[in-house]
Structure 1
């Protein structure tokens, strides 16, 4: 065995013992056939009730991937299923149209090893064939939040799931993603709860993920979801005056915002059941982001 092969095997072993990639999908078989080949370490694919033969196709093409078939679409909480099944201390999320750069998971695991208070490492996400950084990366890099002395990068109170590596223990203790928000913007409530529990969240620019957005998207539907979930997240965690502002903001977004508000009303009861206002120091930090 030559030195290069031996080094590659040592690296693969190092990654697999610390980080699992959890991917959720629904009817995106073609995207998965392109993205899954890029992942390092163990991969758990949670299929949210696909009807296009995704599960069988992936089992055949990628026998090393652990495929979990759900009988219906449960949205972002599908990731919770994968995290619970993971047998590593860290979990890297990916969408069916995203993957992590070579060596990124090893670097992320090193950072998490060195920072035991860190629950979420938000990486840099490069979009499309042009590999332009997602605009949220600049926002996280310039975060106005106070940086903890022991943090590996700027402190944040949000992240993109497809560009995040989480500490499994912290994620599960915080309850993971919820079925009130269900999908789109699901990261905010979890980020707030992790901060409220005393965990750190930080942006680390040299941990890189690639995202090639699928053409099978519904921009109007996503704008409706954005308005709906902004209000629902506020109901679950923010003071009532902030909730009122979010309602007003959604209404000002035109027909899609008003549709989002109507949809939010249908989910109001479970949102109220989960209501738990943030501790003052986290609410203050979140307000700083609102004004920034």
Structure 2
């Protein structure tokens, strides 16, 4: 029997020491009631202003879950709130439609303890009941940044939010996910700031996260719009002016969803500019390598 066909895990006999699972969600009550029991560590659910009774339903069905209800949708900042509340050495992120494979929370924590400069471990992601490898994973495995001897896998400058375990100290030291970018595409700014602070991110395919995409997902065009909004704001906060211009021009030339993303970034530009801090040269060099730009 595979992990995805098995009944949800309710035993806490394999609870990994020093790990909390932080889940953010909005209006996906039924998905949560199915996935939350699968987690093998204490769970903090941060509810992003749901209107479907999520908080009350989870408290009633799963009293062992800590529920932090927010009055409004703060996007990925909810994960930062959850990590601050958790107070454990490590935090594993999961979405309302994902969970870590049995035993792999403990495995990931052991890997991170063995690699003290590792701030984020990105697990392998298997999608759906058929367990298809997420198409992003081969890209991460082939990272042009290589696999330094001090890391357990290829070095990255990004990660998949629902498949990451973070070292809480490092995550909070760079302010976690910020209130400007919100969601999706929130991983980029955080990854760049961790690299600037001397921390590492690595892809580790011996650790698995299962992702069964919710049936209540946004349409692809809307998601592209939201991602480009995040790209523009991240560029303004961290990249040289010429790269900000490149990002804006790319948004204008790519298509209607990307142009909408640019427009939707405009109200948050003042907040992004207040947080602007240019990256060090070595991080910019790595970023250009990943982008295929040697200039």
TM-score range, shorter chain: over 0.9
CA distance in 1, matches of 2:103, 2:254: 41
Secondary structure at 1:64's aligned position in 2?
coil
Structure 2: give runs of 5+ residues left out of the alignment.
1-9
Task: Please identify which structure carries the higher helix content.
Answer: 1
Structure 1 pair 24–256 and aligned structure 2 pair: CA distance change class (3 A)? same
Q: Please list the CA deviations of residues 39-71 of structure 1 after superposition, one character each: whole Å capped at 9, or x if unmatched.
A: 111000001111101011001111110111111
Q: CA deviation at 1:258?
A: 1.1
Pairing 1:33–2:33 present: yes
Secondary structure at 2:148's aligned position in 1?
coil
User: Counterpart of 1:42?
Assistant: 42
Q: CA deviation at 1:27?
A: 0.4
Structure 1 pair 10–263 and aligned structure 2 pair: CA distance change class (3 A)? closer
User: Counterpart of 2:250?
Assistant: 249
Preserved contact between residue 12 and residue 40 of structure 2 (Cα < 8 Å): no
User: Counterpart of 1:268?
Assistant: 269
Preserved contact between residue 12 and residue 41 of structure 2 (Cα < 8 Å): no
Preserved contact between residue 151 and residue 202 of structure 2 (Cα < 8 Å): yes
Secondary structure at 2:30's aligned position in 1?
helix
Structure 1: give runs of 5+ residues left out of the alignment.
1-7
Q: CA deviation at 1:147?
A: 2.7
CA distance in 2, matches of 1:96, 1:242: 35
Preserved contact between residue 11 and residue 40 of structure 2 (Cα < 8 Å): no
Q: CA deviation at 1:135?
A: 1.3
Q: Please list the CA deviations of residues 239-266 of structure 1 after superposition, one character each: whole Å capped at 9, or x if unmatched.
A: 1111111111111221111111111112
Secondary structure at 1:252's aligned position in 2?
helix
Q: CA deviation at 1:230?
A: 0.9
CA distance in 1, matches of 2:198, 2:161: 20
State TM-score, norm by structure 2: 0.93
Secondary structure at 2:260's aligned position in 1?
helix
Q: CA deviation at 1:87?
A: 2.8
User: Counterpart of 2:289?
Assistant: 288
Give the alignment of 1:143-292 within 5 angstroms: 143-219=143-219, 220-291=221-292
User: Counterpart of 1:12?
Assistant: 14
Q: Please list the CA deviations of residues 209-235 of structure 1 after superposition, one character each: whole Å capped at 9, or x if unmatched.
A: 011111212222211111111111111
Q: CA deviation at 1:146?
A: 3.8
User: Counterpart of 1:130?
Assistant: 130
Secondary structure at 1:12's aligned position in 2?
coil
CA distance in 2, matches of 1:178, 1:39: 26
User: Counterpart of 2:3?
Assistant: none
| Larger CA deviation: 88-97 vs 243-252 | 243-252
Secondary structure at 1:22's aligned position in 2?
strand
RMSD between aligned residues: 1.5
Give the alignment of 1:104-119 within 5 angstroms: 104-119=104-119
CA distance in 2, matches of 1:253, 1:213: 27
User: Counterpart of 1:89?
Assistant: 89
Preserved contact between residue 119 and residue 170 of structure 2 (Cα < 8 Å): yes
Which 4+ residue blocks in structure 1 deviate beyond 6 angstroms?
Answer: none
Aligned residues, how many? 283
